[in-house]
């Protein structure tokens, strides 16, 4: 597609539930990133994929968070046993080449609200 | 380690006046520096980057930024502000060879007609 597509745009879930957030990057972009943006803060790095593999997952806050990119295109961020503190906008970005040296193209994000 | 500081939560400027949004950084290597803009209810948009070369880099919508190694700064500038420039601006840094980009907390730019 023309841009990075994220679905759903909004997700409300109950505490303790499992959620999946989807990201469809720009065609041909091999690098894919997940960030989390809390209210009043800048985006916080979660995980980076180069192709199918997670090259850097050092930003995942704990083992309730997991992300996959099985075919090197679409990625899914999975959150188990959601907590109210997980409420944030989850941003996906893709870039041409390695390392985001050319800058990212971000999606519009998924606003996750845990009640 | 890498970090970015945006010392101003908000910057107000009159339309037509020059604007500056400040950013300082700290890295333990060669920095790559970026500015992004976020309009209400829209995603982050890439404005410009500094990797190497000329210290003054030009980007989208007439914005430019000056890399100052001695002051570890990368301030965003525009000669003449437009009301439509009102948005949230983020400075970001990464280290060459590494993938993680660290963003600042953002500066809200308000251009007053």
Q: What pLDDT is attached to residue B13? A: 98
Distance between the two ends of chain B, CA-based, in angstroms? 41
3-state secondary structure B32-90: EEEEEEECCCCCEEEEEEECCCCCEEECHHHCEEEEECCCCEEEEEECCCCHHHCEEEE
Contact list, A105 vs chain B (CB under 8 Å): 46
A99 or A74, greater pLDDT: A74
Question: DSSP string spanning B97-111?
Answer: T----EE---EEEEE
Q: Nearest residue on chain A to B35, judged by CA atoms?
A: A103
More confident residue, A86 or A29: A86
Within 8 A of B36 by CB-CB distance, chain A residues are: 103-104, 106
Q: What is the pLDDT of residues B29-51, one digit of tens each?
A: 889 999 999 998 778 899 999 98
C-alpha span between B43 and A107 (Å, rounded): 6
The tens place of each residue's pLDDT in chain B, 113 residues long, gives 889 999 999 999 999 999 999 999 999 888 999 999 999 877 889 999 998 888 999 998 999 999 999 999 999 999 999 999 999 999 999 888 777 889 999 999 999 99
The three-state DSSP-derived secondary structure of chain A is CCCCEEECCEEEECCCCCEEEEEECCCCCCEEEEEEECCCCCCEEEEEEECCEEEECCCCCCCCEEEECCCCCCEEEEECCCCHHHCEEEEEEEECCCCCCCCCEECCCEEEEEC
Contacts of B70 (CB under 8 A, 6+ apart): none
Q: What is the mean pLDDT of chain A?
A: 92
Residues in B closer than 8 angstroms to A31, CB to CB, are 99
> How far apart are the C-alpha atoms of B85 and B61, rounded to whole Å?
9
Cβ–Cβ contact B103 with A under 8 A = yes
- With an 8 Å Cβ cutoff, are A59 and B98 in contact? no
């Amino acid at each position: 597609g023309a841009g990075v597509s994220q679905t759903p745009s909004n997700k409300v879930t109950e505490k303790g539930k499992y959620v999946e957030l989807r990201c469809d990057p720009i065609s041909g972009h091999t690098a894919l990133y997940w960030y989390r943006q809390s209210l009043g803060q800048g985006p916080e790095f979660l995980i980076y994929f180069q192709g199918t593999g997670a090259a850097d997952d050092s930003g995942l806050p704990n083992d309730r968070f997991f992300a996959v990119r099985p075919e090197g295109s679409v990625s899914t961020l999975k959150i188990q046993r959601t907590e109210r503190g997980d409420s944030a906008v989850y941003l996906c970005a893709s870039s041409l080449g390695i390392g985001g040296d050319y800058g990212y193209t971000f999606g519009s994000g998924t606003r996750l609200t845990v009640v | 380690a890498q970090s970015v500081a945006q010392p101003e939560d908000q910057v107000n400027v009159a339309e037509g006046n020059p604007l500056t949004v400040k950013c300082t950084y700290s890295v333990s290597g060669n920095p790559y520096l970026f500015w992004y803009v976020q309009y209400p209810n829209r995603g982050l948009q890439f404005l410009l980057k500094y990797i190497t070369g000329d210290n003054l880099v030009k980007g989208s919508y007439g914005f430019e930024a000056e890399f100052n190694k001695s002051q570890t700064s990368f301030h965003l500038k525009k000669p003449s502000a437009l009301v439509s420039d009102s948005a949230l601006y983020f400075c970001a840094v990464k280290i060459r060879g590494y993938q993680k980009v660290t963003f600042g907390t953002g500066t809200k730019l308000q251009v007053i007609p």
